[in-house]
Amino acid sequence: MSEGERLTELAKRRGFYFPSSSAYGGAAGFWTYGPQGAALKSNIEDTWRDRYVVKEGHQEISAPDVMPEPVFEASGHLDGFDDMIVECGECGATHRADHLVEDNTDIEEAESLPNEEVMDLIAEHGIECPSCHTSLADQPVDNFNLMFETNIGPGSSSPGYLRPETAQGIFVEFPQLSEYARNQLPFGVAQIGKAYRNEISPRKSLVRVREFTQAELEHFVDPEEDEPPLSEVADVTLPLYSAAEQQAEDGGQRELTVREAVDEGVVESEWVAYYLGVSKEWYERIGVDMDRFRYRQHLAGERAHYASDCWDAESEVDGDWIEITGFAYRGDYDLSKHADHSGEDYTVFKQYDEPVTVERATVDPDMSYLGPEFGGSAGAVADALEALAERNPDAFDADEVTVEVDGESYTVPVAETNFSVDEVTENGEHVRPHVVEPSFGVGRIIYTVLAHSYETDEVDGEERTYLSLPPEQAPTTVGVFPLMDKDGMADLATDIADDLRAAGLSVTYDDSGAIGRRYRRQDEVGTPYCVTVDYESLEDREVTVRERDTTEQKRLPIDGLAETLERLSTGDRTFDDL
């Protein structure tokens, strides 16, 4: 059984996650988190929120899952949010073409290749349809848009889409959100929520799905002035697999500190480097195995058009590297696009320390001339003249000036533009922020944490399976057991469980079966501590506390038990200290 299969079996049996709607045959790419999985997911989201919202001092919002079509026209998703698809000419099954190439060759990142090259590789390697084993040679490789379309309200007059990323819900609302930040850069806006992508070939349980949770931070910065607090993470060591190393014959992963990576130009953006350092420590906190983790830089062909530099955090599971987070310097692409399409102001006003006097070129076009001359295009021509005066005042030196609107040229006498260069006193300027984005795939992180925490050993001559989850992340903090359900032990155990819950701990109570079996059940879901009430407990008011990984046991007083377990779960105390 492969690591992935073993994990999926455990996840379904113990209630972490399982395929949705199985009573009706299911639908590929949709998974339900069971009681253990929902709790683990909530805990990971809480630690993300603690690190990227609370400790960084950012805002958090919750935007709608459905957004109107113009949002995605502006963002570019309608035209460019595609994957490569190939359809079998025999059975009609569709497949992700680049994944077929990766599965059947030594090529790791076929996504970065042109469609035509992927088509040639399919033919060259004799790749067959996984469904019917017919050759896919000569079958076209096309682009398939991944967005789910819907209609907002009755009829089809107002098309909308399920959001393919949570980010657009932040970018669209920038004018309002910047007011909440008092128009002071830098500021960040975070969001944890669902995103939807109509994947061609969902696979590997939580790795490739059609509905998933993202935790995204959009950090808005002044590109000319704002710098990250790099000193806070300067000494954090990063496992970096750069584009240059990927393309070199003998290339490989390099271990560099954040400071070294920036100084050597391996990571171009200091902001991206900062979040790589912050995130490395966060991954360790939630239980990602650092021996199975790396940061990989995007190759030129796979990098998003808006990103000047992009790195993925990747985890190794079952021999494959899985992207769990993307770190991108998006520049001002998103805000510029929404400003152009909406006509709204996507800038902040930066106040100068002292007023400054500058020369400013302006126009005041004579609409009594432009109207009769250019009809319905007069307003657009006037706007184009204003933009040209700001961008290139020298264009007004001749008797006539020409502007372009929607691909058509319009020539205007300079005298009709009322062009002038005047001295003006300015108290500040409008700045369009750049965006630094760490984007986390919560489901893939859960999959990684479960895989990396899966352990086996032998206890009392029997093989034991346990999840070595950090106590902070474990779905349940403590299991409470009466040794037997008689003589008052169950009553005392129930009282202890109630007291621990009242103290804010996540508790499960179990009085079914042999005590060893009850321990094993909790081991398999990662419960770090178990409390057993026995006959002695009735006399001395002490209980046996067992630690999951070592199975070591200690007797502790019931009084103060909640505080002790709380400190153990947060790392303020260790079991050896007790």
pLDDT given at position 155: 86
pLDDT given at position 30: 97
Three-class HEC string of 193-227:
EEEECCCCCCECCCCECCEEEEEEEEEEECCCCCC
pLDDT of residue 301 exceeding 90: no
Count of domains forming the chain? 3
CATH number at residue 130: 3.30.40.230
Range of the domain at 108: 82-145
Average the pLDDT over 179-193 and give the result.
Answer: 97
- Does 160 fall in a domain? no
Answer whether 457's CB lies under 8 Å from 494's CB: no
Q: What percent of the chain has pLDDT over 70?
A: 100
Q: Give the model confidence (pLDDT) of 144-175 as tens digits.
A: 889 999 999 998 889 999 999 999 999 999 99
Q: Residue 551: in which H helix or E strand, if any?
A: none
Whether residue 417 is found in the same domain as residue 487: no
Whether residue 405 is found in the same domain as residue 488: no
- Does 285 fall in a domain? no
Instruction: Name the pLDDT band for 479 (thresholds 50, 70, 90).
Output: very high
pTM, full prediction: 0.87
Peptide bond into 186 cis (omega under 30): yes
44-48, 267-271, 349-353: the lowest-pLDDT one: 349-353
CATH number at residue 490: 3.40.50.800
pLDDT of residue 17 exceeding 90: yes
Instruction: Name the pLDDT band for 1 (thresholds 50, 70, 90).
Output: confident
Average the pLDDT over 319-324 and give the result.
Answer: 95
Q: Give the model confidence (pLDDT) of 356-388 as tens digits.
A: 888 889 999 999 999 999 999 999 999 999 999
Whether residue 484 is found in the same domain as residue 412: no
Side-chain-side CA neighbours of 315 within 13 Å: the count stands at 25
Average pLDDT of every residue of the chain: 95
pLDDT of residue 437 exceeding 90: yes
pLDDT given at position 368: 94
- Does 134 fall in a domain? yes
Rounded Cα–Cα distance for residues 109 and 106 (Å): 9
Whether residue 562 is found in the same domain as residue 480: yes
Q: Give the model confidence (pLDDT) of 209-254 as tens digits.
A: 999 999 999 999 999 999 999 999 999 999 999 999 999 989 999 9
- Does 295 fall in a domain? no
Q: Residue 412: how many CB atoms within 10 A of its CB?
A: 23
- Does 150 fall in a domain? no
pLDDT given at position 82: 87
Average the pLDDT over 554-578 and give the result.
Answer: 94
- Does 533 fall in a domain? yes
pLDDT given at position 426: 85
Q: Which of 384, 409, 426 is the last residue of a domain?
A: 426
Q: Give the model confidence (pLDDT) of 49-85 as tens digits.
A: 999 999 999 999 999 999 999 999 999 998 878 889 9
SS3 9: helix
Whether residue 511 is found in the same domain as residue 569: yes
Average the pLDDT over 194-216 and give the result.
Answer: 95
Answer whether 436's CB lies under 8 Å from 311's CB: no
Rounded Cα–Cα distance for residues 130 and 561 (Å): 56
Q: Which of 426, 449, 468 is the last residue of a domain?
A: 426
Average the pLDDT over 535-561 and give the result.
Answer: 97
pLDDT of residue 23 exceeding 90: yes
- Does 361 fall in a domain? yes
Whether residue 565 is found in the same domain as residue 486: yes
Average the pLDDT over 134-146 and give the result.
Answer: 92
**What's the angle, vertex CA 460, arms to CA 457 and CA 463, rounded to 5?**
35
pLDDT of residue 277 exceeding 80: yes
- Does 566 fall in a domain? yes
CATH number at residue 414: 3.30.720
Instruction: Name the pLDDT band for 560 (thresholds 50, 70, 90).
Output: very high
pLDDT of residue 347 exceeding 90: yes
Whether residue 397 is found in the same domain as residue 486: no
pLDDT given at position 309: 86
Instruction: Name the pLDDT band for 88 (thresholds 50, 70, 90).
Output: very high
pLDDT of residue 302 exceeding 90: no
